[in-house]
Each structure stands twice: as structure tokens, then as C-alpha cells.
């Protein structure tokens, strides 16, 4: 009797979650339609590390800038991610977002909790888009 590889039972969300694991460096930021504004959550060279459904953003020196949890739904079009920060101004809020994950590039655009989930990868008022590259 042949065995079916376990990964055949994984959903697209499971695959994306697995692909996100590890460290990512932010390479671009857009907020409220403005490219690369001042940013309290992503200092130059800061890394975002994904471990399971947890994320933590730290400076090069190791200072924690932001952390929280997230859930993804890769069955939606566009793919959806919801962030819940455990610290900072948005602590405890469910921030609706969409994402693209293509190899070593990860992009998401999130809206404020009281706003609809974004539908395109272009920011307007109350939206933030971050672009990351995998850091090996």
C-alpha cells in the first residue's frame, strides 16, 4: 500500500504559513498614500520574525518594536491576513489586510480595524502597506 505524502493534505493557508516562518526585512513602506513616512514599527534594518502565528519586529540591536499574532486565509482572492498587535496604539485590534507571498517577497496592506479590508495593493487613508524580503 502506498503512502500519501502529508503535504498533500495541507491547505494553501498552511503552505503560506509555513513559507512565512523565519526572518524578513522591511524594504518599503507606504501609509495613507505616502511613500516611506516616519515609522515607529520598522526602523532601518529591523527584522520581522514569524514563528507559527506570532510575529515580532526588532531593531538590529534587538529592541522590540512590535509584536502580536495573525491569521491567514489563502483561499480568499486576494489572500487575506488579519493582524492583532499585542502592544502599541493598535493593541488588541483586529487589523484587516490582504497579502502577496511570492518566494522571498512578502507584501501586505492593512486597514484600520473599523475600515473595510483593502482590496488592492495601493494605500489610501487609514491603510499601511509594507514590503519585505526574506533575510537568510
Distances (CA, A) of 96 to 52, 59, 69, 85, 116: 19, 25, 13, 12, 7
Beta bridge partners of 67: 56
Query: Residues 38-93: pLDDT tens digits?
Result: 777 776 678 999 999 999 999 889 999 999 999 999 999 999 999 999 998 899 99
Cα 136 to Cα 130: distance, rounded to the nearest angstrom: 19
The answer to whether position 24 is within a domain reads yes
Q: Which domain holds residue 35?
A: 6-134
Give the CATH number of the domain where residue 123 resides.
2.40.128.540
Tell me if 80 is assigned to some domain.
yes
Share of the chain above pLDDT 70, in %: 93
**What pLDDT score does 36 carry?**
82
98-101 LR contacts (CB < 8 Å, sep 24+): 99/72, 101/16, 101/19, 101/20
Report the candidate in 3, 51, 49, 1 with the shortest Cα–Cα distance to residue 26. 49
Residue 10 lies in a domain: yes
pLDDT of residue 7: 61
Amino acid at each position: 500500500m502506498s503512502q500519501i505524502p502529508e503535504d498533500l493534505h495541507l491547505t494553501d493557508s498552511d503552505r503560506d504559513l509555513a513559507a512565512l516562518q523565519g526572518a524578513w526585512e522591511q524594504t518599503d513602506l507606504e501609509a495613507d498614500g505616502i511613500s516611506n513616512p516616519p515609522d515607529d514599527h520598522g526602523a532601518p534594518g529591523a527584522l520581522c520574525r514569524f514563528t507559527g502565528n506570532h510575529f515580532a519586529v526588532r531593531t538590529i540591536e534587538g529592541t522590540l518594536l512590535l509584536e502580536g499574532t495573525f491569521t491567514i486565509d489563502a483561499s480568499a482572492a486576494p489572500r487575506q491576513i488579519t493582524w492583532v498587535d499585542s502592544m502599541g496604539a493598535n493593541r488588541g485590534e483586529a487589523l484587516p489586510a490582504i497579502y502577496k507571498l511570492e518566494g522571498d517577497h512578502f507584501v501586505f496592506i492593512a486597514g484600520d480595524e473599523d475600515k473595510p479590508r483593502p482590496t488592492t495593493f495601493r494605500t489610501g487613508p487609514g491603510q499601511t502597506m509594507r514590503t519585505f524580503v526574506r533575510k537568510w
